[in-house]
Amino acid sequence: MKLKLITGLLLCSLFASAQFTTFQSPSTQWPLPAFPSNTVVYTPKEYQDSSQKYYPTIIYFHGVGEAGKDVTRLTGSYLLGRIKNGWEPQAVNPVTGKLEKFIVIAVQDAANWSPYPVPMRYARNFIIANMKLRVDTNRVYTTGLSSGGQTSVMYACWDESFAGKIAAVVSLSPAALEAQAVRNLSFFAKYNTPVWFISGDQDGFTDNAKAYTNSITNAGGSAYTTIYRGGHGGWDAMYNGTTTRQVNGKNLNIYEWMLSNGRGPVTRPPTDTVPVVTRKLIATLRVYDNGDIEKQ
């Protein structure tokens, strides 16, 4: 296990086989070390060998069952559990036909819900800056289940400063949105951010998914609800790619569907510029063997 400090926060562990980096990051806008949260970042196995490549990125919002201060709860199931067991989140881009791999970012809510938009944005910015992650900022996606199904939607429409930053949302069995997010569902139409809701036919949260789909589509946006047989659960089928929907004649799983949406060409975050030092020749000297010096 390799230890290092990241801006005063201790890196807890590295799972080399899964390319997991686990550490604590601030999940609040308040000064450090207030409210540090367990954080997991996954990078593809090829990441270290591709220094010029920028990657589509998934921000993952966990459910209540994964909240707390034990990071193994976060990495023990669903999307992160699959990755920890050796699976790589990847898909063939249905637009380009090329295989693409994702970066995944997840922050654990220390209480009993799922990270809210402002704390998650603060943590996300900290993570990307300190790890110097090569994130394709035009292809950042959110997904989550239950309480995370709620917060993955709210992150993309919380206010005008959030809206338009996410390329697409996959929300599984979403808990009821906060009133502010309900008022702002029209942002999904305004900023052309598609949302795919997936929920069970016996799931009490399915009415949420239907209502939000109607609100977004009535505003002129793109939203769709897939209903599967079952109650509040069964999310492994979505994260293992079993659940699909037909788009333009193709059956796409959630990863393929994400890649079919983007905000533009691959973009690279601005990098720090190094000032160019220029020198101007003022004079040259001729030194003789007798010690005389002559300026030219």
pTM for the whole thing?
Answer: 0.84
Cis peptide before 26 (omega within 30 of 0): no
Taking the chain, what is the end-to-end CA distance rounded to the nearest angstrom? 62
Three-state DSSP class for residue 126: helix
- Which conformational region is residue 164 in: left (phi greater than 0), alpha (psi within -120 to 50 degrees), or beta? left
Q: Where are the domains of the chain?
A: 5-295
As given in the structure block, the two tokens for residue 290 are 């007798």
Residues 179, 157: Cα–Cα separation, whole Å = 12
Reading the chain (296 residues) residue by residue, the pLDDT tens digits are 333 333 334 344 444 445 888 888 877 655 544 556 899 999 998 998 888 899 999 999 999 999 999 999 999 999 999 999 999 999 999 999 999 999 999 999 988 899 999 989 988 998 999 899 999 999 999 999 999 999 999 999 999 999 999 999 999 999 999 999 999 999 999 999 999 999 999 999 999 999 999 999 999 999 999 999 999 999 999 999 999 999 999 999 999 999 999 997 766 554 433 333 344 445 555 655 555 556 55
Class of the CATH-defined domain 5-295:
alpha beta
